[in-house]
């Protein structure tokens, strides 16, 4: 037969309070991480919009691309925006 030990409610409360604090801290961290992911998602969306704007501009104004004298810059633009936009 198992021997029952007296339950120290004060000790249990301290342990439970500590565990709840840990859970709250973890919840706060998850919320912060979620906010950061949302911010990053917004920035990626903005960057994607800007890339589409530049690509569209280059398609509509091929003379501007043709006037770029730096072969390195022209090469990088071709890599970033693809040949269709710069044809």
The CA–CA distances, whole Å, from 71 to 52, 66, 74, 76, 77 equal 22, 10, 5, 9, 10
The CA–CA distances, whole Å, from 61 to 15, 18, 43, 53, 74 equal 69, 64, 27, 12, 14
Percent of the chain with pLDDT over 70: 89
Is the confidence at residue 82, as pLDDT, over 90? no
Indicate left, alpha or beta for 82 from its phi (over 0: left) and psi (-120 to 50: alpha): left
Distance CA 33, CA 12 (A): 31
pLDDT value of residue 42 = 94
Any idea where the domains of the chain sit in the sequence?
53-87
What integer best gives the mean pLDDT of the chain? 83
């Amino acid at each position: 037969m198992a021997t029952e030990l007296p339950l120290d409610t004060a000790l249990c409360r301290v342990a439970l309070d500590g565990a709840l604090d840990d859970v709250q801290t973890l919840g706060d961290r998850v919320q912060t991480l979620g906010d950061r992911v949302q911010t990053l998602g917004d920035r990626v969306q903005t960057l994607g919009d800007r890339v589409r704007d530049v690509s569209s501009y280059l398609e509509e104004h091929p003379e501007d691309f043709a006037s770029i004298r730096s072969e390195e810059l022209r090469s990088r633009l071709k890599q970033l925006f693809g040949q269709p936009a710069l044809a």
